[in-house]
Amino acid sequence: MGLRKRVTYYYDEDVGNYNYGYMHPMKPFRMRMAHSLVAAYGLDRKMSIVRPPRASKQQLTRFHSDDYMEFLSRVTPEVAELEPEHASVYLSGDDCPAFDGVFEFCTISAGGSIAGAKRINHGDADVVVNWAGGLHHAKKNAASGFCYVNDIVLAILELLRYHQRVVYLDIDVHHGDGVEEAFYTTDRVMSVSFHKFGDFFPGTGHVHDVGVGRGKGYAINVPLRDGIDDDSYQRIFRPVMAAVMERFRPGAIVMQCGTDSLSGDRIGCFNLSMQGHAACVEFMKSFGVPLFCLGGGGYTIRNVARTWAYETAVLVGEELDPVLPYNDYYDFYGPEFRLDVPASNMSNANTAEYLQKTAAIIADQLRDLPHAPSVQLHAAPADCDGAASDNEADDCHLDADPERKMSARQRDARVVPLAELYDSDADADADAADSSDAALRAPR
């Protein structure tokens, strides 16, 4: 049996406070629901839970343009009405509204992804989770597809400071266009997107879109049709990703785990079950390469929460009871109250011949690439924002004041595991019904 992975899970309880609008399908509240399930299952005992620092405007401009970030940092619904010429340039109408607190929401999402990448860089974790991240459509100069800041690009840029090669994997139903575009000309990032292609947002991701210049061949697109089920998905996912890992040999994997590819999603058109979706996460974990799992799409929020809680358990190596434990949002999961997102009986338009043909095209693309492109070795520069890793910063604070038992960052970031509130696990189980762990649960 292999050693248990060191898992770090980023969560800021404020992320659930933001609202795109009553009729908007994107609901940040789903992160709060997912975290409540994670805590109710006791998964916080199996990993480090950290409140991420908010990303600064300077950090965001490592990818995004200064003028876009300046506008985003001050935009409100009122400003958008007063400056329609700017709103029309930087925001995309109803998809990306100027809701209250939009910039703060972005700093939470991006802050967790940047901090998670640093944690991998400094060897503090083998697996990192930030379900508030994964906003893959945002462009350098504008918002797109419910996404304002591309936290994924920012995380990959951070990882590239320590790792020669990074694989970006996207299993959202929508093409990961913003990330692919950002790295379309480099051979240091291989982007792999499994998505619905055709008359569907964003309309990109043809199998022959492969990159340009030095990046030619390093963008891999797997266009899929409506109704793909678990068996069909795995039939193309596993061989493609096994070939990518063998050919490219990345130092880290960033995986966007959008759940709009699940059966029954309000926007998606695939037919994956929760287990089929999670099988992709488990397969990528099996390579033993540092893995960063992010959120993304997902618009049937009870199924989003179920799946991300289940995939958190996969990452920490725990089995979960299929009967849901009581949690803050228990009524959302009725009438079955089970940890399951089953596939439906919708028809699968992905024939065996179509999948074989697509896989053959991608195999030829990979075959033409050199093994593991070389990058000149150099010392990793200091973190661009002057910040040390978490451990180094804590040591400095404790050296300055040795009477302290814990640094200020540790006190602020730490979420106390349930086990530390009790003398034994038996006591913890006995008191669970009394909700004495309320301090760990996200507020309503």
Tens-place pLDDT, residues 302-356: 999 999 999 999 999 999 999 999 999 999 999 999 999 999 999 999 999 999 9
Token code pair at residue 42: 């006791």
Grouped pLDDT means (10 residues each) for the chain, 444 residues: 80 97 97 98 96 97 98 97 96 94 98 98 98 98 98 98 98 98 98 96 98 97 98 98 97 98 98 98 98 98 98 98 98 97 98 98 96 65 58 51 54 47 41 40 40
- Assess whether the previous peptide bond of 202 is cis (omega < 30° from 0): yes
Token pair, residue 313, equals 């358990």
- Distance of alpha carbon 76 from its chain centroid, rounded? 26
Q: Alpha-carbon torsion 212, 260, 53, 409, what sign?
A: negative
The pLDDT, as a whole number, for residue 439 is 38
196 vs 207: CA distance, rounded Å: 11
The pLDDT of residue 410 = 56
By CB neighbour count within 10 A (0-12 exposed, 13-18 middle, 19+ buried), where does 426 fall? Answer: exposed
CB atoms within 10 A of CB 433: 8
Active site residue 137: yes
User: Which of the following is catalytic: 35, 136, 137, 163?
Assistant: 137
Other Cβ atoms within 10 Å of 364 Cβ, number: 9
Tokens of 275: 């287990």
pLDDT at 75: 98
At 194 the pLDDT is 98
**DSSP secondary structure code for residue 337 in this structure:** -
The pLDDT value given to residue 1: 42
The reported pTM is 0.87
